[in-house]
Amino acid sequence: MTRSQLILKLNELRSLPGETEVVEFKEANNDYDFRKLGKYFSALCNEANLKGKPEAWLVFGIENEKRSIVGSKYRAGNRPHLESLKGEIGNKTSNRITFIEIHELDLPEGRVVMFQIPAAPQGLPIAWEGHYYGRDGEVLSPLNLSEIEQIRKQATHFDWSAGICEDATINDLEPEAILYARENFKIKNPRLAKEVDKWNDSVFLNKAKITIGDKITNTTMLLLGRNESAFHLLPSFAQITWILKDKENKELDYEHFSIPLLLNTDLVLKKIRNLIYRYLPAGTLFPTEVTQYEPYVIREALHNAIANQNYELQQRINLVEFPEQLIFANGGSFIPLTIENVIEHDLPQPLYRNKFLCDAMVALNMIDTIGSGIKKMFEYQRNRFFPMPDYDLLQPETVKVKIYGKIIDKNYTQLLINKSDISLKTVILLDKVQKGKTISDEESGSLKTARLIEGRKPNYYVSSQIAAVTGEKASYIKNRGLKDQHYKELILKFLDQYKTATKTDIDRLILDILPAILDKPQRENKVKNILYSMSKRDQTIVNQGTNRKPIWKKNI
């Protein structure tokens, strides 16, 4: 834009009756927060798309209320430093989207910087540092799920997995993989078993919808291709990398696995050290022995990574094995948006990244009917009394799944053993509690009503009174209120004698005499609750110190 065009545009923006979702004014001194600039970039990109605008504007050097020019010193006097923002912003946004232009206007009233921001491309919401932002009027806020989906649905979906490898022939396929595919197809389609044996390879591949009209597809190469024929997939490629690490994250071993994935996923799975894990349920002297990982869960997580990988990103699928957990990672965003959408609705999703590949993997018995496999993973973990899988969806073009091979909280495990009737949704909430994750007030309220958790926000923990199976449980519940009063009296007597008490003094006084049913974290939380009750409700004591280092005395 010329200077005169920029002045006209600036006057046009200043004349608007108020800030809109696609126009933002800031005074912006030189110390303006770079991360906040990035959030506004994401929000204005997305809002321009949703409002059908080709661009949005972020203007520095304008006072927001009266739209008067006050001038901005943001990166002033150094044009290369200002221009470098394009790369700095691009490095932290999805698909490296950045400014169209950064304009400077030196006006009599002061310097104005105008950031010309492109609308998010059709089908591609823009994230900043892994988070999608939008605007509610003038307020910066997370982009809600319906808006993210609205942008994603704009794209005319191209199924890479159905693409034809023009120069590939059936000779580029691994005979052993084709034979294995036939056997798996017969398991999935037993009524066709006798017919399958009569089909030649070309007929079989067409019938199983792995090829299209005898043409080799990207799916055919992924699942059945010879290793030396992988060049047909370029510039995309298919590779699974297994990495073994110790508890300190030090790499101990690794191996790469290429096509044919139908055969080589079994080789990947054999690398995993699925050891025997023993735990002792309450009320018995006999330990329960299980493998660290349910084979179905491992297989489903790996095959889901293959099915949902964005092969156009040219990334590997990674499987990192730690002593007590497995982490699977594949390129591409999580299309259902949240794991709750998958678990609660239990329906096939309306859009697939690799529909042709998914259908072929279902036909070859590699994954369950599309949409049900993830929920089964959660059910398997629940039935083993293990923690739920963790889905990390914070990075816009990566999905990570963590599978636990150990118990985290014995109360959680014991609760699942004793209460087999609680819903999977409730189990997932309890799993969040045992991992110290945030839950909403509504969720905590429902769990407290059911007496499944204790503690105060944000320090909830799985209730030991439900998990316990000994006679001590009833005694603890019956006498809890009476004992609380006893502990309070002990604290008051201590203050009568010594006038003040530190947290260490209180811990030494009552920590060891709390019910044995409580573990150490629960006893420490109990002490906090007693002191909170005495200071806020009973108002019998006051804190003359700080929140970090309280000094308690009687409230006279």
pLDDT in tens, 209-238: 999 999 999 999 999 999 999 999 999 989
Enter the pTM of the model. Answer: 0.62
Distance of CA 322 to the CA centre of its chain: 19
pLDDT tens for 281-324 read 655 555 677 899 999 999 999 999 999 999 988 899 999 999 99
Q: pLDDT class for 478, splitting at 50, 70, 90? A: very low
pLDDT tens for 479-511 read 454 467 888 888 998 898 889 999 999 998 888
Q: What is the pLDDT of residue 387?
A: 95
Q: What is the DSSP string of 185-219?
A: HHHH-GGGHHHHTTS-HHHHHHHTTSSBTTBPBHH
Q: What is the pLDDT of residue 473?
A: 46
Q: pLDDT class for 447, splitting at 50, 70, 90? A: very high
Q: pLDDT class for 455, splitting at 50, 70, 90? A: confident
The identity of residue 530, as a single letter, is I
The identity of residue 75, as a single letter, is R
Q: What is the pLDDT of residue 156?
A: 59
Structure token digits, residue 24: 């933002």
Q: pLDDT class for 534, splitting at 50, 70, 90? A: very high
Q: What is the pLDDT of residue 283?
A: 54
How many helices (H) and strands (E) the chain has is answered by: 21, 20
pLDDT tens for 13-52 read 999 877 688 999 998 888 888 999 999 999 999 999 998 8
Structure token digits, residue 511: 């920590």
pLDDT tens for 351-403 read 678 989 999 999 999 987 655 788 899 999 998 899 999 998 777 788 999 99
Is the pLDDT at 72 greater than 50, yes or no?
Answer: yes
Beta-carbon contacts of residue 301 (< 8 Å; ≥ 6 apart)? 326, 328, 377, 389, 401, 403
Burial zone of 516 (CB within 10 Å; 0-12 exposed, 13-18 middle, 19+ buried): exposed
pLDDT tens for 243-279 read 999 999 999 999 999 999 999 999 999 999 998 887 7
Q: What is the pLDDT of residue 469?
A: 41
Is the pLDDT at 472 greater than 50, yes or no?
Answer: no
Structure token digits, residue 14: 């200043």
- For residues 338 and 44, the model is more confident at 44
Distance of CA 345 to the CA centre of its chain: 18
Give dist(CA 107, CA 66) in Å, integer. 17
Q: What is the pLDDT of residue 13?
A: 92
* Strands 251-257 and 240-245, bridge-based pairing: antiparallel
- Nearest Cα residue to 516 out of 546, 484, 472: 472
Q: What is the DSSP string of 104-117?
A: EEEETTEEEEEEEE
> How confident is the model over 143-166, as a mean pLDDT?
84
* Strands 131-136 and 127-128, bridge-based pairing: antiparallel
Burial 437-475 (b: 16+ CB within 10 A, else e): eebeeebbebbeeeebbbbeeeebbbbbbbbbeeeebee
DSSP reduced 3-state for 245? strand
Is the pLDDT at 471 greater than 50, yes or no?
Answer: no
Percent of the chain scoring above 90 in pLDDT: 54
* Strands 240-245 and 317-322, bridge-based pairing: parallel
SS3 content of the chain, % helix, strand, coil (to 5): 45, 20, 35
CA distances for 222 relative to 174, 231, 234, 257, 511, angstroms: 11, 11, 12, 12, 60
Give the position of tokens 């804190």.
543
Q: pLDDT class for 336, splitting at 50, 70, 90? A: confident
> How confident is the model over 504-519, as a mean pLDDT?
79
Percent of the chain scoring above 70 in pLDDT: 91
Is the pLDDT at 119 greater than 80, yes or no?
Answer: yes
- Nearest Cα residue to 327 out of 390, 269, 377: 390
Q: What is the pLDDT of residue 414?
A: 85
Terminal Cα distance for the chain, rounded: 73
- State the number of CA atoms in the 13 A half-sphere of 531 facing the CB: 24
Domains and CATH numbers, the chain: 3-152 (3.30.950.30), 160-233 (no CATH), 240-404 (3.30.565.60), 410-467 (no CATH), 472-554 (1.10.10.1470)
- Nearest Cα residue to 117 out of 129, 126, 130: 126
- Nearest Cα residue to 25 out of 127, 113, 137: 113
Is the pLDDT at 440 greater than 50, yes or no?
Answer: yes
Q: What is the pLDDT of residue 221?
A: 98
Q: What is the DSSP string of 124-145?
A: ---EETTEEEEEETTEEEEPPH
Residues pairing with 289 in the sheet: 278
Q: What is the pLDDT of residue 289?
A: 79
CA distances for 72 relative to 59, 63, 170, 384, 516, angstroms: 10, 10, 65, 60, 64
Give dist(CA 523, CA 454) in Å, integer. 12
Q: What is the pLDDT of residue 498?
A: 87
CA distances for 231 relative to 168, 227, 311, angstroms: 10, 9, 14
Give dist(CA 255, CA 243) in Å, integer. 7
Q: What is the pLDDT of residue 284?
A: 54
Q: What is the pLDDT of residue 281?
A: 62
* Strands 110-118 and 276-279, bridge-based pairing: unpaired
347 φψ region: left (φ > 0), alpha (ψ -120 to 50), beta (else): beta
462 φψ region: left (φ > 0), alpha (ψ -120 to 50), beta (else): beta
Name the average pLDDT for the chain: 87
Q: What is the pLDDT of residue 29?
A: 82
